[in-house]
Copies of this chain bind each other. A is one copy, B any other.
């Protein structure tokens, strides 16, 4: 393992491309959401999505219980202060949706109605333990489209918004490396 580890240059991982999403869920009448970049489609028929979510996050707890989540694709119009509550603070101590326009989707998860290109409601079919994270794989049960503006890429978030990557992100790069 150590030998293998030494051959890995984390810069290579940076060559992978992502979008920027707020993944939301609900549990026992409460709602929560978090920033995620690791979301992708895994099949076309039926349309299925996979999202990698950190086990330490409150949203993980909610999805595990309710078996539903919603992917809100962020637009390039989302400003830096939009990310604050979702990426770097826990729903355990703040209400992330206070002051953020939203509504409730068919699966009970919040859909953000500002700075979002589209929302995809997902019903979880499989939960895959990959260590620090769980891959929640599920079928898209409902969609909404808000506007035609460009979806924000992870690259755009880092280079233009000057956004940081939370320590519990799959794509976090440890400072010691």
Contacts and interface: CB of A to CB of B under 8 A. Distances in A.
Interface in A65-90: 71, 73
Nearest to A38: B40
Contacts of A118: 11-12, 15
A170 interface: yes
Contact of A12 (B17, B130, B137, B145): B145
B133 A43 contact: yes
Nearest to A72: B15
Interface in A136-172: 137, 139-145, 151, 153-154, 169-172
Contacts of A52: 40-43, 50
Contacts of A154: 17
18 contacts: A4-B141, A5-B46, A8-B140, A9-B145, A12-B119, A13-B140, A16-B19, A16-B39, A17-B17, A41-B171, A42-B135, A42-B170, A43-B132, A43-B133, A45-B131, A48-B130, A50-B52, A126-B128
Given A41-B171, A126-B130, 8 more contacts: A8-B143, A9-B143, A11-B145, A15-B117, A15-B118, A38-B41, A43-B133, A45-B131
